[in-house]
Amino acid sequence: MREQLREKIAGEIVLSVDAGKTIRKWREEFGISQQDLARHLEVSPSVISDYESGRRKSPGIVIIRRIVDGLIELDEERGGKVLKKYDMGEKSDCIISIKEFKSSLTAAEFVKLIEGEPLTKGISLDRDIHGFTIIDSMKAIMALGSMDYLKIYGWSSERALIFTGVKFGRSPMIAIRAHPLKPALVVYQRPEHVDDLAVRLASLENLPLVKTQMGTAALVERLEHLE
C-alpha cells in the first residue's frame, strides 16, 4: 500500500498544471504542517512555502519524491492513519467496472468511442486516457467514504470516471473538486439532467465533462474489450 500511494501522489504532482497547489492539498490531506514537513526534510519552512505558493519553480521529480516520502514517513510515525485510510483493499461496491489500458487513448478518441457529447466547451480533449472506472453514482453517494475514494482511480488518475444514475451531476463534481486526485475525463451516462453548476465546476478544474446516452451494459462491454 505504501508504494501504491507513493506512486499515486508523486504522479499526481508531476502531472498537475499547478504542482505547488497539489503538494499543498496532499500535505493538508496528511494533516502535516509546513514546519513539520520542513523539519523532517531538514530544509527551511520557507522552501516548502515557496514551492506551494509557486514562488519557486516547480520541483523536479527528485524533490517531489522527497516531499512525498516525507509525508508518508511522518504519517507512519503517527500510526499510519492516512495509509490505512487509503488502503486499496477489495473493489468497492459502487464500482461497476474498472480497467487499465495497455495503450492509452486520447480523450477525443475515448469520447468518440462512447458516442459522447462534450458539455464543457473550450476544454481540450487532447489528453491521454490510461483507463476507466464506471461508478454507480447513487451507491457512491451513500457508501463511498474518503477511505474508499482512491479505489476508483485504479493504477492511474489519468482515466475516465464514468458515473451512472446521475440526476443533476452536482455531487460527482463536488466530490472530484474537493479531492486532490483528479481524473482526465468525467462522463455522465444517461443523466436525467446536467445542472449548470456541474458544468461550471468541471470548467474550474479544467476537466472535460461529457455525457453519453449508451446503456450501461453496452458501455461496459465496449470498454472492457479495449486493450
Question: Considering the chain, what percentage of its residues have pLDDT values greater than 90?
Answer: 53
CB contact set of 104 (below 8 Å; sequence gap of 6+) = 128, 129, 130, 158
Which one is predicted more confidently, 77 or 104?
77
Tell me the mean pLDDT in the region 74-93: 76
Tell me which fold the domain 95-224 belongs to: 3.40.1390
Tell me the mean pLDDT in the region 148-163: 79
For residue 218, the cross-strand partners are none
Q: What is the DSSP string of the chain?
A: -HHHHHHHHHHHHHH-SSHHHHHHHHHHHHT--HHHHHHHHTS-HHHHHHHHHTSSPPP-HHHHHHHHHHHHHHHHHTT-HHHHHT---SPPTTEEEEEEEEEEEEHHHHHHHTTEEE-STT----SEEEEEEEEEHHHHHHH--HHHHGGGGTT-SSSEEEEES-SSSHHHHHHHHHSS---SEEEEES-S---HHHHHHHHHTT--EEEE---HHHHHHHHHT--
Q: How many Cα atoms are found within 13 Å in the side-chain-facing hemisphere of 204?
A: 11
Within the chain, all domains assigned CATH 1.10.260.40 are found at 2-85
Asked whether residue 10 carries a pLDDT value surpassing 80, the answer given is yes
Q: What is the predicted pLDDT for the residue at 94? A: 81
Which one is predicted more confidently, 29 or 164?
164
Query: pLDDT tens across 86-99, in order?
Result: 665 555 678 889 88
Q: What is the predicted pLDDT for the residue at 202? A: 95
Q: What is the predicted pLDDT for the residue at 197? A: 94
Tell me the mean pLDDT in the region 40-53: 95
Instruction: Return the minimum-mean-pLDDT range out of 66-70, 173-177, 208-212.
Output: 173-177
Within the chain, all domains assigned CATH 3.40.1390.20 are found at 95-224
| Separation between Cα atoms, residue 78 and residue 72, nearest integer Å | 10
Asked whether residue 33 carries a pLDDT value surpassing 90, the answer given is yes
What pTM was estimated for this model as a whole? 0.63
Instruction: Classify residue 155 by burial, with Cβ atoms within 10 Å: 0-12, 13-18, 19+.
Output: middle
Q: What is the predicted pLDDT for the residue at 148? A: 60
Instruction: Classify residue 183 by burial, with Cβ atoms within 10 Å: 0-12, 13-18, 19+.
Output: buried
Tell me the mean pLDDT in the region 42-48: 95
Write down the mean pLDDT value for the chain: 87
Asked whether residue 57 carries a pLDDT value surpassing 90, the answer given is no
Asked whether residue 199 carries a pLDDT value surpassing 80, the answer given is yes
Interhelix angle 45-53/34-41, rounded to 10 degrees, is 120
* Domain covering 2-85 in this structure, CATH number: 1.10.260.40
Asked whether residue 14 carries a pLDDT value surpassing 70, the answer given is yes
CB contact set of 183 (below 8 Å; sequence gap of 6+) = 153, 157, 158, 159, 160, 161, 176, 207
Alpha carbon 101 to its chain centroid, in Å, reads 17
